[in-house]
Chains A and B, each alone.
Chain A
Amino acid sequence: MTQEKNPAFVRFQGIEKRYGKVVAVKKMDLEIPEGALVTLLGPSGCGKTTLLRMLAGLETPTGGDIFIKGKRINDTPIHKRNLGMIFQNYALFPHKSIFDNVAFGLKYRAVPKSEIKDKVEKALETVRLPGVGNRNPSQLSGGQQQRIALARAIVIEPDVLLMDEPLSALDENLREDMRREIDNLQAELGVTTIFVTHDQREALSMSDKVVVMKDGLVQQEGTPEEVYNNSANHFVADFLGHSNFLSAVVEEKHNDVLKVRLDDKSSCLVSPVGNFEKGDKAEIVIRAQKMKLGYQDEHSPEEDMNFFHGTIVDRSYMGGEVSYFVELPGKQVLHVINFVKRSPYRRGDDVYVKVDPFHCRLLQS
């Protein structure tokens, strides 16, 4: 297609939702590009579901506007919005056959009967469940039911596909499969999709764009790599993956690295996010996976920048990798995740922790 994709296919402008004194969404602006899969990620109560429901027409905003394809839809009733909605509990009609479930939206769009049949069959093939039309929803497994819900939503060719934690009712392995399936299907159909989740792995693995939310506000939006590697603040860094936070004071400025002093007076080289001046108080973020462990007696003392000595106080074995908790002399505990090489370190082992300055991000505290 040569047609230019609309970067603001869906646009929220100063959108706000209050429930009495509680503000669920605070004057938010957000643009969803055409054809993209965008996840709204955040802990429960961050306003992500409320935002989605306002777009769907299931909640009325108390302020601001919503646009789809440049058209303001605040006053458009839900049944005229042409959106496909997927619910956490599948929400299949239990008293209707699978065929009637999928055909439901077409019936209300006055599609001729013969066409309905073709479209439903095609939709069932798309979700890889052909020939189940005569069965009842209760005869299908959870994963199959969610695929039928997907078929029911895409068969009406919606402008936007809205998914409200669609995978959280499935068990771990199935969730992984469904995640890939939704991702592939979305890429194949090219339908603009908004996916609400509290699961960072879902968000990082399938999105074109992740919107991290907290307390009704956007904390950061960007590609999965951007929000993971260049987390904009403490909350985002903490919410995505396992991060260690160390407070520090800026000591020396170089071109793209800073030398900072930690609480225990040791120094550390870091790469900053944003502008820092000498004497600024800041916070270092280090991903648990980015640190390397070694036995203390194997460590050559000449390179003691970004080196920490410590003792393993706890560990948990996770198959391919091991999660270690290393206590530093200043009683601070670092969380380090390393692949298992020879034999894993044991509780009580004296180790050093080494980290590249590039992986020490400095955030304003």
Chain B
Amino acid sequence: MKEKTWKPWLLLSPSLAAVFLLLVVPVCFVIVYSFWLRAPSGQDIPAFQMGNYAKFFADFFYPSILLKTLRVALETVFFCLIMGYIPAYFFYKTESRFKPYLMVLVMLPFWISFIIRTLSWINILGDSGLINHLLMNMGIIKSPLAMLYNEGAVIMGLLQYLLPFMIMNIYVSLDGIDKSLVEAAKSLGCTEWQAFREVTLPLSLPGVSAGCLLVFVLTCGTYLPPMILGGPGNGMIANLIFKRVIGTLDWPFGSAISTILLLLLILIVYTYNRYLGINQIFKSMSNS
């Protein structure tokens, strides 16, 4: 059996090579860059110094953007959880023959470009967008409601992007629950709601926890919804990185912010894993 141990590695090698070349190597570049020095002339000088990190923590401006990013991420997770659990539960419960089609509907947004989907919210929420247009025509409001270019619009844009991830994670977890457990609970005296609280909800928590982590991490790294739907003050940490690297071509500082974000997320995922168990994610994935 011993000589066969190379086989799994051989099968893994294309993916490993891709991950290494396209992810690990660039991340190493970013980390190295974060120690470089940016000359006033705009030239990047190879160096090993902590100036970029010191600049980040020099005043409260940059950390506050980081904190705001975390807050928006938590808010997004919260709304995603509530808005994702209900459809996931519906998919679990329904015996409709349309169930596969309904589930395709959940995945359908992935077929349309993320930018187009985000931009389309302007036509819905904007001053002359669908909602304001309808409300004004019906005479309910006189002047358009300001629904765009604020944090609410950013979270809305994030929700439409992230909901499918949440729904699918929770659904997979729910789908792995043996239906006779609920029947057993009911036969022992539970009402439908009590059986949900006693059995279905606790057993779906692995999927909930996986979905929450995924949504949180994806939100922390997002920059399109804040850029398109947010106002001037709604930029998140990724927008800051974007501005430094693309806008002012300050690669060393942009790299330092990226490294800080990366370390923070690693810390969060590690802590989450310690207390909630990230292998639950894989368990919930393999249950179906």
Chain B interface residue count, Cβ-Cβ cutoff 8 angstroms: 17
Q: Quick check: B186 and A78 within 8 Å, CB to CB? A: yes
Given contacts A91-B178, A95-B202, contact A79 B184 (CB under 8 A): no
Q: Quick check: A87 and B189 within 8 Å, CB to CB? A: no
Residues of B contacting A91 in the complex (Cβ-Cβ under 8 angstroms)? 178, 180-181, 183-184
Given contacts A95-B202, A95-B203, A108-B194, contact A78 B187 (CB under 8 A): yes
Per-residue interface assignment for chain B, residues 166 to 210, with 1 indicating a CB less than 8 Å from any chain A CB and 0 otherwise? 000000000000101101111111110010001100110000000
Q: Can you report 25 A-B residue pairs in the complex whose CB atoms are below 8 A from each other?
A: A57-B186, A57-B187, A58-B186, A79-B188, A79-B189, A85-B184, A87-B183, A87-B184, A88-B180, A89-B178, A91-B178, A91-B181, A93-B198, A94-B181, A94-B203, A95-B202, A95-B203, A104-B188, A104-B198, A105-B188, A105-B189, A108-B189, A108-B190, A152-B184, A156-B189
Q: Pick the contact of B185 from A80, A94, A104, A109 — CB < 8 Å?
A: A104
Q: Quick check: A156 and B188 within 8 Å, CB to CB? A: yes
Residues of B contacting A56 in the complex (Cβ-Cβ under 8 angstroms)? 183, 187
In the assembled complex, how far is the CB of residue B164 from the closest CB belonging to chain A, in whole angstroms? 27
In the assembled complex, how far is the CB of residue A209 from the closest CB belonging to chain B, in whole angstroms? 23
Q: How far does the alpha carbon of A81 sit from the alpha carbon of B186 in the complex, in Å?
A: 10
Q: Quick check: A93 and B187 within 8 Å, CB to CB? A: no
Residues of B contacting A85 in the complex (Cβ-Cβ under 8 angstroms)? 183-184, 187
Q: Quick check: B187 and A84 within 8 Å, CB to CB? A: yes
Q: How far does the alpha carbon of A102 sit from the alpha carbon of B178 in the complex, in Å?
A: 18
Q: A79-B189, A83-B187, A91-B181 are in contact. List 12 more A-B contacts (CB 8 A).
A: A57-B187, A78-B187, A79-B187, A84-B187, A85-B183, A94-B181, A94-B203, A95-B203, A108-B188, A108-B189, A108-B194, A156-B188
Residues of B contacting A79 in the complex (Cβ-Cβ under 8 angstroms)? 186-191, 194
In the assembled complex, how far is the CB of residue B61 from the closest CB belonging to chain A, in whole angstroms? 46
Give the top 8 A-B pairs by smallest Cβ distance, nearest first.
A108-B189, A105-B188, A85-B187, A91-B184, A91-B180, A87-B180, A78-B186, A79-B189
Q: How far does the alpha carbon of A32 sit from the alpha carbon of B61 in the complex, in Å?
A: 78
Q: How far does the alpha carbon of A185 sit from the alpha carbon of B181 in the complex, in Å?
A: 24
Q: Quick check: B185 and A93 within 8 Å, CB to CB? A: yes
Per-residue interface assignment for chain A, residues 54 to 83, with 1 indicating a CB less than 8 Å from any chain B CB and 0 otherwise? 001110000000000000000001111101
Residues of A contacting B191 in the complex (Cβ-Cβ under 8 angstroms)? 77, 79
Q: How far does the alpha carbon of A105 sit from the alpha carbon of B198 in the complex, in Å?
A: 12
Residues of A contacting B188 in the complex (Cβ-Cβ under 8 angstroms)? 79, 104-105, 108, 152, 156
In the assembled complex, how far is the CB of residue B192 from the closest CB belonging to chain A, in whole angstroms? 9
Per-residue interface assignment for chain A, residues 29 to 58, with 1 indicating a CB less than 8 Å from any chain B CB and 0 otherwise? 000000000000000000000000000111
Residues of A contacting B187 in the complex (Cβ-Cβ under 8 angstroms)? 56-58, 78-79, 81, 83-85
Residues of B contacting A80 in the complex (Cβ-Cβ under 8 angstroms)? 189
In the assembled complex, how far is the CB of residue A48 from the closest CB belonging to chain B, in whole angstroms? 17
Per-residue interface assignment for chain B, residues 30 to 61, with 1 indicating a CB less than 8 Å from any chain A CB and 0 otherwise? 00000000000000000000000000000000
Those of A88-143 within 8 Å (CB) of chain B: 88-89, 91, 93-95, 104-105, 108-109
Q: How far does the alpha carbon of A108 sit from the alpha carbon of B183 in the complex, in Å?
A: 15
Residues of B contacting A95 in the complex (Cβ-Cβ under 8 angstroms)? 202-203
In the assembled complex, how far is the CB of residue A65 from the closest CB belonging to chain B, in whole angstroms? 20
Q: Which residue of A lies closest to B188 (CB)?
A: A105
Q: Quick check: B189 and A93 within 8 Å, CB to CB? A: no
In the assembled complex, how far is the CB of residue B224 from the closest CB belonging to chain A, in whole angstroms? 39
Residues of A contacting B202 in the complex (Cβ-Cβ under 8 angstroms)? 95
Per-residue interface assignment for chain A, residues 142 to 162, with 1 indicating a CB less than 8 Å from any chain B CB and 0 otherwise? 000000000010001000000
Residues of A contacting B199 in the complex (Cβ-Cβ under 8 angstroms)? 93
Residues of A contacting B190 in the complex (Cβ-Cβ under 8 angstroms)? 79, 108
Residues of B contacting A105 in the complex (Cβ-Cβ under 8 angstroms)? 188-189
Q: Which residue of B lies closest to A53 (CB)?
A: B183
Q: Which residue of B lies closest to A85 (CB)?
A: B187
Q: Quick check: A109 and B184 within 8 Å, CB to CB? A: no
Residues of B contacting A87 in the complex (Cβ-Cβ under 8 angstroms)? 180, 183-184
Residues of A contacting B186 in the complex (Cβ-Cβ under 8 angstroms)? 57-58, 78-79
Q: Which residue of A lies closest to B187 (CB)?
A: A85
Residues of A contacting B185 in the complex (Cβ-Cβ under 8 angstroms)? 93, 104
In the assembled complex, how far is the CB of residue A137 from the closest CB belonging to chain B, in whole angstroms? 11
Q: Which residue of B lies closest to A84 (CB)?
A: B187
In the assembled complex, how far is the CB of residue A49 from the closest CB belonging to chain B, in whole angstroms? 12
In the assembled complex, how far is the CB of residue A92 from the closest CB belonging to chain B, in whole angstroms? 8
Given contacts A94-B203, A95-B202, A108-B194, contact A89 B189 (CB under 8 A): no
Most buried by B among A56, A88, A95: A95
Residues of B contacting A78 in the complex (Cβ-Cβ under 8 angstroms)? 186-187
Q: How far does the alpha carbon of A324 sit from the alpha carbon of B129 in the complex, in Å?
A: 85
Q: How far does the alpha carbon of A108 sit from the alpha carbon of B190 in the complex, in Å?
A: 7
